[in-house]
Chains A and B, each alone.
Chain A
Amino acid sequence: MSALALDRVSVALGGRPVIKDVSLSVRSGQWAALVGPNGSGKTTVLRAIAGFVRPRGRVLVVGVDSARLRRRERARLVAVVPQLPTTPADMTVREYVLLGRTPYVGYFGGSGRADRVAADRAIERLDLCALAARRLGWLSGGERQRAVLARALAQEARILLLDEPTSALDLARQQQVLELVDELRREEGLAVLAAMHDLTAVSLYAEAVHLLGGGRLAASGAPREVLRAEVLTASYGASVRVLQDGADLVVVAARP
């Protein structure tokens, strides 16, 4: 059974169709990448899965129709790392990670022992122990991104949605974050669906690639099948070369 399955999902915003008939699935422990030019609907697909917009078609989360799930139930299954997470400057890392336990805490309740244990585990898992009492405003970009991942991990969800998780980071931090996500999905069996711009990173980390163009799924398959020069050129409208580097692919822009 897929951890996540989209069955002919469409979303219209303000009467304008943004994504149309998108079907895809992600297994537990699998990293699937969502690629496509700006405005192709990547973020909208993620928002439909997270329940921020109500789609037509069905979103199945661990086999259950997402529309039937209550908000809190969905939040226990799906964790979201947005493109630009809000990280209040005066909040400590530990307070922030504990907010990931919100779907398990009663409306007027406080966090209990199980919540503190889960938060501590996430903090340890992302190597943030030394920074746990530090305020978010004092962290570097890479440390802050780790705190965001720790909050998502504390949520103990089965599905992790990432929207451009590395767009604000330098090369080394990008690598660090992608490696961490890769470890988490292997060891925790998380199903990862990530909207990504860096197609070389996609070929390095993703097992499945879903290419969106104009709101429709233009191609789906293994990186080797989707990341081909003619496919990308047609979809992005850019002149692209795909180079072979050992077993990996390198996608570069070429002069038209």
Chain B
Amino acid sequence: MTARRTPTVAAAAVAFLAAAVVAGLLVGPAGLPAGDVAQAFAAKVPLLGVHSPLGPTESTIVFDLRLPRVALGALVGATLAVAGGAYQGVFRNPLADPYLLGIAAGSGLGATLVIAYGPPGSSTSMLLPAVAFAGGVTSVVLTYLVGRGTTSLILAGVTVAAFFTALETFVQQQRSESIRDIYAWLLGQLETSGWTEVAIIAPYAIVALVTLVAHRRVLDVLRLGDDEAAALGVDVGRVRLAVIVAATLGTAAAVAVSGLIGFVGIIVPHAIRMLAGGSYRVLLPLSVVAGAGFLVFADLLARTVLSPAELPIGVVTAFFGAPFFAVVLRTTRVVGA
């Protein structure tokens, strides 16, 4: 069943991503005709001799507003989905998500500190993603130091997260005037200023995606449990560390530019697991594709549903993701991580 269904699910995931990207480029308040946008893209290809029908403003809308936003959504979605899938494998815990080891609380504290105490305008400067990234990485390093050598790395994550969340809440209470900005950040957004955010996340995301997908076979061995994997010559501790490092870099970079976007790292890998089986050789590559498509699509909804206002994308991923996931859950046989 798995083997026969995999090509179908893979094709559907690619089609879903393609549709999301096209929609993300075409839909927006400027109402540009689809044909013109397509022609503008063709004009970017040398030697075709096509001329763009778009004026400079419209061209900027497509290539410096919509395209980077789509690219950012794809990178963030792919990273969160594959990090969640890999964590579920390495901890053999179906509820593991990319924020498992405390990234959310660490980054949240970093962002809160910048917004609350930073110089004016720092919530939109490069200081925020830098400190959020540092906070996320710090929390995971602390979690690893506390929980290393024990079987309760997840409990260590909960502990570190609780501590950082307490600090974060304290700062928010101290600076209640900035709470609105802090919440806007916490709920996630894919706002871009040109290609800056894409350039920040791209190196981390690509390293994370490549490393995690490269672990797909080893993660299948880990499905047999630590002892049996060790008996097959796998250094379980090293695999776990490699996955934690890669997932942390990718997730912290994603959080730094887009805030906390929940549910993607759980819903995407589990939907694929239910549709195509639990083998990580299938699950991780498809999580990259479907995660990218899912977030681009969610962002499209976030900026159109209440247009011209924007919904926080974290609200969209949960609001539309939860019912979809419930349907998948009810209609397929449940397969453990």
- Which chain B residues border A50 with CB–CB below 8 Å? 227, 230-231
Question: How many angstroms between the C-alpha atoms of A76 and B233 in the bound complex?
Answer: 8
With beta carbons under 8 angstroms apart, the residue of A76, A78, A86 that contacts B224 is A86
Interchain CA distance A110-B220 in the complex, whole Å: 12
CB-CB contacts below 8 Å: B268-325 with A? 277-279
Q: A89-B335, A92-B3, A105-B217 are in contact. Are A52 and B227 (CB under 8 A)?
A: yes
Write out, one digit per residue, whether chain A residues 86-105 have a CB within 8 A of any chain B CB (1) or not (0): 10111110010001101101
Residues of A within 8 A of B335 (CB): 89-90
Residue pair B279, A91 in contact (C-beta under 8 Å): yes
Chain B neighbourhood of A86, CB < 8 A: 223-225, 228
User: Is B228 a contact of A85 with CB atoms below 8 Å?
Assistant: yes
Nearest CB of A to B149, in Å? 14
- Considering only CB atoms, which chain B residue lies closest to A73 in the complex? B233
Q: Knowing A91-B279, A95-B279, A135-B1, say if A52 contacts B220 (CB, 8 Å).
A: no
- With A91-B279, A92-B2, A95-B279 already in contact, the answer to whether A155 and B232 are too (CB < 8 A) is yes
Contacts of A168 in B (CB 8 A): none
B217 touches A89 (CB 8 A): no
Residues of A within 8 A of B231 (CB): 50-52, 75, 78-80, 82
A11 to B335, CA, bound (A): 38
B142 at the interface (CB under 8 A from A): no
Give Cα distance in the complex from A153 to B251, angstroms: 40
Question: Which residue of the partner chain B has the closest CB to A101?
Answer: B232
B19 contacts the other chain (Cβ, under 8 Å)? no
Q: How far is the CA of A79 from the CA of B233 in the complex (A)?
A: 10
A166 to B227, CA, bound (A): 20
In this assembly, does B78 line the interface, its C-beta being within 8 Å of a C-beta of chain A? Answer: no
The proximity string for B residues 99-140 relative to A, scoring 1 for CB distances below 8 Å and 0 otherwise, is 000000000000000000000000000000000000000000
Pick the residue among B218, B225, B229 that contacts A107 (CB under 8 A).
B218
Counting CB contacts under 8 A, is A224 at the interface? no
Indicate which residue in A75, A78, A90, A103 contacts B2 across the interface (CB closer than 8 Å): A90
B234 within 8 A of A: yes
Evaluate whether A71 and B233 lie within 8 angstroms (CB atoms) in the complex, with A91-B278, A92-B3, A95-B279 already known: yes
| B225–A89 CB distance below 8 A | no
* Contact assessment for B217 and A90 in the assembled complex, using a CB-CB cutoff below 8 Å: no
In the complex, what distance in Å separates the CA atom of A80 from the CA atom of B278? 24
- Of listed A73, A78, A91, residue having the most chain B CB within 10 A: A91
- Cross-chain contact B227 with A102 (CB below 8 angstroms): no
* Pairwise interchain contact A99-B221, C-beta atoms closer than 8 A: yes
| A72 part of interface (Cβ distance < 8 Å) | yes
Min CB–CB distance B193 → chain A (angstroms)? 37
A117 contacts partner chain B, Cβ-Cβ < 8 Å: no
Docked-complex contact B217 and A71, CB < 8 angstroms: no
In the complex, the answer to whether B234 meets A102 with C-beta atoms within 8 Å is: yes
A102 touches B232 (CB 8 A): yes
Q: How far is the CB of B178 from chain A (nearest CB, A)?
A: 46
Asked if A133 is at the interface of the complex by the 8 Å CB criterion, the answer is yes
Known contacts A76-B233, A102-B234, A107-B218; decide if A88 and B278 are in contact (CB<8 Å): yes
Q: Which residue of B lies closest to A104 (CB)?
A: B233
Minimum Cβ distance to chain A for residue B288 (Å): 16
Which residues of chain B are within 8 angstroms of A89 by Cβ–Cβ distance? 335-336
Chain A: which residue is nearest B223 at the CB level? A88
B36 at the binding interface (Cβ < 8 Å) = no
CB distance from A86 to the nearest CB of B (A): 4
Contacts of A80 in B (CB 8 A): 227-228, 231
Cβ-based interface call for B184 (8 A): no
Q: Could you tell me which residues of chain A, from 98 to 131, have a CB within 8 Å of some CB in chain B?
A: 99-100, 102-103, 105, 107-110
Question: Which B residues lie within 8 Å of A155 (CB)?
Answer: 232
With an 8 A cutoff between CB atoms, is A158 at the interface?
no
Contact pick for A85, options B215, B224, B279, B336, CB 8 Å: B224
Q: Which of A51, A88, A102, A107 contacts B336 (CB 8 A)?
A: A88
Residue A146 CB within 8 A of the other chain? no
Q: CB within 8 A of A99: which of B2, B220, B336?
A: B220
Nearest residue in A to B277 (C-beta to C-beta)? Answer: A90
B224 neighbours in A (Cβ, 8 Å): 85-86, 88, 99
B283 to chain A, nearest CB (A): 11
Instruction: State how many angstroms separate the Cβ of A71 from the closest Cβ of chain B.
Output: 5
B235: CB under 8 A from chain A? yes
Do A82 and B227 have beta carbons less than 8 Å apart? yes
Considering only residues 202-248 of chain A, those with a C-beta below 8 Å from chain B are none
CA distance A104 to B57 in the complex (A): 58
Additional pairs, 17, CB under 8 Å, beyond known A52-B230, A71-B230, A90-B335:
A50-B227, A50-B230, A51-B231, A52-B231, A71-B233, A73-B233, A80-B231, A85-B224, A85-B228, A86-B228, A90-B277, A95-B279, A99-B232, A102-B221, A103-B232, A108-B217, A135-B2
The 16 sampled A-B contact pairs (Cβ below 8 Å) are A47-B227, A51-B231, A75-B232, A75-B233, A78-B231, A86-B228, A88-B223, A90-B279, A95-B279, A99-B220, A102-B234, A103-B232, A108-B215, A109-B217, A133-B3, A155-B232
> Which residues of chain A have a CB within 8 Å of any CB of chain B?
47, 50-52, 71-76, 78-80, 82, 85-86, 88-92, 95, 99-100, 102-103, 105, 107-110, 133, 135, 155
Closest 10 CB pairs of A and B: A75-B233, A72-B233, A103-B233, A102-B232, A80-B231, A86-B225, A108-B214, A90-B335, A86-B224, A71-B233
